[in-house]
Amino acid sequence: MAVETLDDLDTRLGVGDIVAVIVYFVAVVCVGLWAMRRSNRGTVSGFFLAGRTMIWLPVGASLFVSNIGSEHFIGLAGSGAAGGIGVGAWEFNALMLLQLLGWIFVPVYIACGTTTMPQWLRKRFGGQRLRVMFAILSLILYVMIKLSVNLYSGALFIEQSLGWNMYLSIAILLILTAIVTITGGLAAVIYTDTLQAILMVLGAVALMIVSMVRVGGWEGLREQFMVAMPNITKEYVNARQFNLSMNNYTEQYGKCGIPSDDSFVMLREINDPQMPWLGFLLGQTPASIWYWCTDQVIVQRALAAKNLDHARGATLMAGFIKILPMFMMVVPGMVSRILFPNQVGCADPTTCLEVCGNAHGCTNIAYPKLVLGVMPVGARGIMMAVMVAALMSDLDSIYNSASTIFTIDIWQRLRPRAGNRELMIVGRVIMLILTVVSILWVPILQAMSGAQLFIYIQEICDYLVPAIAAIFLVGVFWQRCNETGAFWGLMGGVLIGLVRTILVFLYEDVRCGDHAEVAPPGIVSLHYMYYALVIFVCTIILTVVISLFTQPLPEYFTVRTTYWTYMNSSIRDDDVKMWNKLEQLQEEEGAKDDKIQDADEVMVENEQPWYKRLFVWYCGFNEKTKEPVEKPDDFKDRLKTLEQKPLMRIILNILLVCILSIGIFCYVYFSVRT
């Protein structure tokens, strides 16, 4: 059954669409303001961890939505349009790795009182260099593969729908996100994430149903996708089939628009250029472990849960929802190629530059093109709100987590006596600085990402993060690992990754149909997933060997910092030393601070004009609650949150088996050739 293409359709938002978007944002702002009033934003734990009081439902929704940003709608759909269902493997991998977070890593993080991932490194290995290095590396990654990617993908959608300049679109998105994030802290983030998760899933599922009906269901998709070619490719195919003559331009680029024979196979041959099954399972998985088990954005949500049961319930909930992106993002991207073969499926650089300004290809516009092409007026506005909701959710998650890392792991190192108010201000300022740097990175991202944004994200990750995953895994499971081994193992792994990253910058990806003027070295030709495996293995070997040949750590460093010892009830020596140091500081400055605080409170309440008082409240600076100082035996309260009732443990474990079985089934089912 042939499907009518929509290449000539005008895809711009109408008045009804704009009204729908405005109504949505009013709702989000109301939820954010309600969360601001309800939550305690004046302390570090209140602002950054929502006071560790959240139940499983909003935490699970936030885990899902924090991952599904606009780069997923743009990236997954774009890669689906370019190469078929293979990119869906990342989503099925995620639903299983979320359970690794809930069952292995979260108990350790809670037991040792971790607020940030660098904090765990300090408690597990001692010293500061590993903690600071990880914090700096995390902030660099946030700029390269998180903030800039989200800003670019969100602006791309607005550019397609409204025709606005990309940087104007970025500015508007940042203002909307800042209204909630910079003021509300993690509680506001999680509450708005819950609203956005509902809207996102409902809107994306509705679009999936409409688009699948348009092409005649799954069988129609299989039939039509394999012949979804631009005109230049049809000329190329017909000329070869009937032995007709063709011009040089068609002969050079026409073949680039032919869909892969493996478009409906997920995990493919071991040497496949897109999705080699061995490379994905052994090389891509370590990089994904970094994201799902050690990245501040994700872990911070799980740590906001009130106890272990709620944290595991949240990872299970997020895991079940992660089944959906394959069908509500990847599949619609494939439908978009069918409906817009000459735009989404453009093959030659001249046409692609005219369509989207990217000579490598235009598959990144697959999802916005589909939304604007098949949805009615009003519904298109709602779907635009879904896209912007995804962007805002990811941005607010990244901003909150990045400011947490900088404030706690870097700023407090520079200013150990910084007060609560100063830390709150620094947290907001670093958000603004990261935003500026990310905007400056957007042009570089446009040049590097080629036609598939999602693959750019994964490739850059695979060069830098397998070493981090290796250190966390070895540290959690092997008690003999020491700080020297972990530091030099991480350094070695990151340097190996940087070599490949620099070479990728130097040897730009060659467009289909073109030929490289200078052949890249073999290290660049190796598939990035296999290179990630090399980094992962080398890091583990370096860490283990150096640890064995150097002095072991004192035993207290493994108390409540490994999977085997997280229920240990011993008091750590370093906690006692820290408590004594804090007590001494409090004795020296307590009386002076109390007098200053009392005077300031009188001045604030009696002399400040109303607009200053409003600003102080809006930013959460007027909270009188002080950050509680942790005592050496506070871990006992944390251990109580790890205790589980037998019935609840059984229910959670049954659900764990179910979600893992579903993940394995999906891998096998979509990887078998039919």
What's the pLDDT at 257?
87
* Mean pLDDT value across the chain: 80
The 10s digit of each residue's pLDDT in 425-444 is: 887 788 788 878 877 877 77
Residue in this structure with the two tokens 């020296």, named with its chain if needed: 588
For residue 452, what pLDDT is reported? Answer: 75
Name which of 87, 105, 69, 428 is nearest 296 in CA terms.
105
Residue 61 CB: number of other CB atoms within 10 A? 26
What does the alpha-carbon distance between residue 244 and residue 100 come to, in Å, rounded to a whole number? 57
Domain architecture of the chain: domains with CATH = 15-226+263-509+518-572+632-671 (1.20.1730.10)
Give the residue-averaged pLDDT of 55-59.
87
Residue 13 has pLDDT above 70, yes or no: no
Tokens for 406?
């900088």
Which residue has better confidence, 645 or 19?
645
Residue percentage of the chain with pLDDT more than 90 = 34
Tell me what pLDDT residue 394 has. 72
pLDDT over 60 (residue 38): no
- Predicted confidence at residue 208, as pLDDT, reads 92
* Residue 244 vs residue 654, higher pLDDT: 654
CA-only gyration radius of the chain, Å: 26
- Cβ neighbours of 646 (radius 10 Å): 7
Span 144-172, mean pLDDT? Answer: 77
The tens digit of pLDDT for each residue in 556-584 reads 899 999 999 988 888 877 766 666 665 56
Q: Is the pLDDT of residue 6 over 70?
A: no
User: Would you state the structure tokens that stand for residue 636, as one six-digit string?
Assistant: 């006992």
Give the pLDDT of residue 612: 60
pLDDT at position 463: 92
For residue 634, what pLDDT is reported?
Answer: 64
* Confidence at 151, pLDDT banded by 50, 70, 90: confident
Mapped onto helix, strand or coil, the DSSP state of residue 54 is strand
Residue 96 tokens read as 């299983």
Q: Which residues contact 482 (CB under 8 A, 6 or more apart)?
A: 125, 547, 550, 551, 552, 553
Instruction: Give the residue from 136, 130, 134 showing the smallest Cα distance to 484.
Output: 130
Range of lowest pLDDT (138-147, 178-187, 197-206, 325-334): 178-187
What is the phi/psi pair of residue 268, to 5°? -115, -165
Burial track 570-584 (b if 16+ CB lie within 10 A, e otherwise): eebeebeeebeeeee
Predicted confidence (pLDDT) at residue 670 exceeds the cutoff of 70: yes
Instruction: Kindly tell me if the per-residue pLDDT of 340 is higher than 70.
Output: yes
Beta strands in 594-654 (DSSP E): none
Q: Which residues pair with 305 in a beta bridge?
A: 54
In sign, the C-alpha dihedral spanning 451, 457, 458, 464 is positive
Which pLDDT score is estimated for 489? Answer: 96
Q: If pLDDT is split at 50, 70 and 90, which confidence band does 46 have?
A: very low
Residue 59 backbone phi and psi in degrees, to 5? -65, -45
- What b/e readout covers 427-456, taking b as 16+ CB neighbours within 10 angstroms? bbebbeebbeebbebbeebbebbbbbbbbb
Segment 69-76 mean pLDDT? 81
Lowest mean pLDDT among 165-174, 306-315, 357-366: 165-174
Question: For 146, which DSSP code?
Answer: I
Residue 456 confidence (pLDDT): 82
Q: Say yes or no to pLDDT of 616 above 70.
A: no
Query: DSSP 3-state assignment of 386?
Result: helix
CA distances from 73 to 111, 121, 204, 332 (A): 36, 34, 9, 10
- Give percent above pLDDT 70 in the chain: 78
